[in-house]
Amino acid sequence: MKKKYKHMVVLVSLLLTVSCFGEDKVVTPDLTKIIKREGWGILNREAKVIEQDKKTCIHFDGRAGLGGACLETLDFSNGVIECDIKGNIRPPSYVGIAFDVIDTVTFDAIYFRAFNFKNEQRKEHSVQYISHPEHTWQKLREKFPGKYESAIEPAPDPNGFFHVKLIFERPKVSVYVNDAKKPCLVVEQLLSTRKMGKIALFVDNESEGIFANLKIIPKESKKDGKD
DSSP string covering 112-165: E-GGGTT-TTTGGGSEEEEEETTB-HHHHHHHSTTTSEE--SSPPPTTS-EEEE
What is the pLDDT averaged over residues 88-109?
96
198-208 per-position pLDDT tens digit: 999 999 999 99
Residue 5 lies in a domain: no
Residue 166 lies in a domain: yes
CA distances to 13, 88, 92, 109, 212 from 85, in Å: 31, 10, 15, 14, 7
Residue 62 lies in a domain: yes
Q: How confident is the model at residue 24 (pLDDT cuts 50, 70, 90)?
A: confident
Q: How confident is the model at residue 221 (pLDDT cuts 50, 70, 90)?
A: low
Residue 223 lies in a domain: no
103 pLDDT higher than 60 = yes
What does the pLDDT read at residue 194? 80
What does the pLDDT read at residue 5? 43
* 63 torsion bin: left (phi>0), alpha (psi -120 to 50), beta (else): beta
125 pLDDT higher than 80 = yes
Report the range of poorest mean pLDDT among 8-22, 46-60, 83-97: 8-22
Output b/e per residue, 187-211; b: 16+ Cβ within 10 A: bebbeeebeebbbbbbbbeebbbbb
Do 47 and 60 contact (CB within 8 A), yes or no? yes
Residue 71 lies in a domain: yes
Domain enclosing residue 178, as ranges: 24-218
What does the pLDDT read at residue 99? 98
Residue 14 lies in a domain: no
Beta-carbon contacts of residue 165 (< 8 Å; ≥ 6 apart): 80, 81, 82, 175, 176, 177
In the sheet that 55-60 helps form, which strands lie side by side, from edge to edge? 47-52, 55-60, 209-218, 79-86, 162-169, 172-177, 185-188
Beta-carbon contacts of residue 88 (< 8 Å; ≥ 6 apart): 114, 115, 207, 208
What does the pLDDT read at residue 22? 46
Q: How confident is the model at residue 141 (pLDDT cuts 50, 70, 90)?
A: very high
What does the pLDDT read at residue 23? 55
Number of domains in the chain: 1
Other Cβ atoms within 10 Å of 133 Cβ, number: 10
216 pLDDT higher than 80 = yes
Q: How confident is the model at residue 210 (pLDDT cuts 50, 70, 90)?
A: very high
Taking the C-alpha atoms of residue 106 and residue 133, their distance in angstroms, rounded to an integer, is: 6
What is the pLDDT averaged over residues 101-127?
97
CATH number at residue 159: 2.60.120.560
Report the range of poorest mean pLDDT among 145-149, 152-156, 194-198: 194-198
What is the pLDDT averaged over residues 64-87?
97
4 pLDDT higher than 60 = no
The better pLDDT of the pair 226, 180 is held by: 180
The better pLDDT of the pair 152, 16 is held by: 152
In the sheet that 95-101 helps form, which strands lie side by side, from edge to edge? 40-43, 67-76, 197-203, 95-101, 107-112, 127-132, 149-150
Residue 138 lies in a domain: yes
Residue 192 lies in a domain: yes
27 pLDDT higher than 80 = yes
What does the pLDDT read at residue 220? 73
Q: What is the mean pLDDT of the chain?
A: 89
Task: Annotate 78-120 with DSSP letters as a single string.
Answer: SEEEEEEEE--SSSS--EEEEEEE-SSSSEEEEEE-GGGTT-T
